[in-house]
Amino acid sequence: MKAPSDHIYNTLRREINSGLLEPGKRLIEVHLAKRFHTSRSKIRDVLKKLELSGMVTISPNKGAVVRQPSLWEIKTSYEVQSVLEGLACFLSVPRITEKDIRMLIKINQKMEKMVDGSVFEWEKLNGSFHRIFIEKSENERIDKIIHGLDLFARYWYIMLSIPGTRNKSIEDHRKIIEAVKERKPYLAKKFMEEHILEASNKFIDILESLPKQWTQSEI
């Protein structure tokens, strides 16, 4: 069964964002067509769409290559994310119910049990945790911006593979939950912002030690 274009696009975008498809990786049309059981023309259209979104570059000699974002792009994207999620957390505290709090605790407990398990499953739980605050903020603009910018949470697969990162996230989540339980929106906001920025700073330090292909942009 042939895969729809949207499915192919979203799959490749997720793999690029996660870091599974690393910067400089060639995306070969014939290989992708075989993988997704589709035509090269459809793959070509998907790659052009990825180029327009800034995720790949296409040149006559190399074809499509995963774009190499700069450290500045990654750093500033996480800074924006921390502000937006901090604001969402602040707005959500008065609106979060006891049922929501129990759900946050349950999700974090599941994450703790899976601390050495699948990165993909763990990230789904992490996304569910953060999603509660975004939804409870009842601010559609925050929601749209977070979902619309691909550099947000870039390379989460690599970040979550760093020893100690998941344990630190779980502990950060506990602090956020406690602030919510105590109905302290400013404290919850502070913890959420620190949670994202600390992980970002640690990741940036690691990126600076990697080959230049990870930190230079072709466009």
Residues 123 and 157 reside in one and the same domain: yes
Q: Where does a domain end: 24, 43, 66?
A: 66
Taking the CA of residue 152 as centre, how many other CA atoms within 13 Å lie in the half-sphere pointing to its CB? Answer: 16
Q: How far apart are CA 38 and CA 32, in angstroms?
A: 8
Domain residues for the domain of 21 are 5-66
pLDDT of residue 154: 63
51 and 86 co-located in one domain: no
Domain count, the chain: 2
Considering the domain boundaries, does residue 213 fall inside one?
Answer: no
Question: Is 77 in the same domain as 115?
Answer: yes
| End position of a domain, from candidates 66, 85, 109 | 66
Coil, helix or strand for 184? coil
DSSP H/E element including 48 = helix 40-52
Inter-axis angle of helices 71-92 and 119-136, nearest 10: 50
> What does the pLDDT read at residue 86?
96
pLDDT tens string, the chain, 219 residues long: the values are 567 889 999 899 888 887 788 888 999 999 999 999 999 999 999 999 999 988 899 998 889 999 887 888 888 888 988 999 999 999 999 999 999 999 999 999 999 999 988 888 998 899 999 999 999 999 999 988 887 665 555 677 777 777 888 999 999 999 999 999 999 999 999 999 999 998 888 878 877 776 555 444 433
pTM: 0.80
Domain-embedded: residue 202: yes
